């Protein structure tokens, strides 16, 4: 069974700091990878996704993630965070054969202090 591990439960940064959230998955076959964000009181929104091609994926709001197959990782990055990035971030994976079942990590709560 596939699983997703997010290294940090809670990250606290100051505005303009750089962000990197770790995500590792366990699955030996073809995977599709996602980062979702949940702002306070709002629904889950897709930040970015990787299906194939360039392992460096750019998403909305200046976020990007790099798929490193040899490390089973899909870390999320942003060069300069803003107070409005305060939210919970979820990494998710599904196996190539099933587009409709997502396995999520436990989430990382990001707090950005102004």
Partner 1 sequence: KAGVTQTPRYLIKTRGQQVTLSCSPISGHRSVSWYQQTPGQGLQFLFEYFSETQRNKGNFPGRFSGRQFSNSRSEMNVSTLELGDSALYLCASSLAGYGNTIYFGEGSWLTVV
Q: Which residues bind partner 1 (CB under 8 A)?
A: 32, 34, 36, 42-46, 49, 51, 90, 92, 98-107
When the beta carbons of 84 and 99 are compared against partner 1, the nearer one is 99
When the beta carbons of 71 and 106 are compared against partner 1, the nearer one is 106
Min dist CB 55 to partner 1, Å, is 16
Q: What is the CA radius of gyration of the chain?
A: 13
- State the Cα–Cα distance between residues 9 and 28, nearest whole angstrom: 25
When the beta carbons of 70 and 98 are compared against partner 1, the nearer one is 98
Min dist CB 96 to partner 1, Å, is 8
Q: For the chain, what's the residue count?
A: 114
Min dist CB 43 to partner 1, Å, is 4
- State the Cα–Cα distance between residues 1 and 20, nearest whole angstrom: 26
CA-based nearest residue to 4, from 113, 108, 112: 108
Q: What's the DSSP call for residue 33?
A: E
């Amino acid at each position: 069974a596939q699983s997703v591990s997010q290294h940090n439960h809670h990250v606290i940064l100051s505005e303009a700091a750089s962000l990197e959230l770790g995500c590792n998955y366990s699955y030996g076959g073809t995977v599709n990878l996602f980062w979702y964000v949940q702002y306070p009181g709002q629904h889950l929104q897709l930040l970015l996704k990787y299906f194939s091609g360039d392992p460096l994926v750019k998403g909305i709001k200046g976020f990007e993630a790099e798929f490193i197959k040899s490390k089973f990782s899909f870390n999320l990055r942003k060069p300069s965070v803003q107070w409005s990035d305060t939210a919970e971030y979820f990494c998710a994976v599904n196996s190539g054969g099933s587009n409709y079942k997502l396995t999520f990590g436990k989430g990382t709560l990001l707090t950005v202090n102004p």
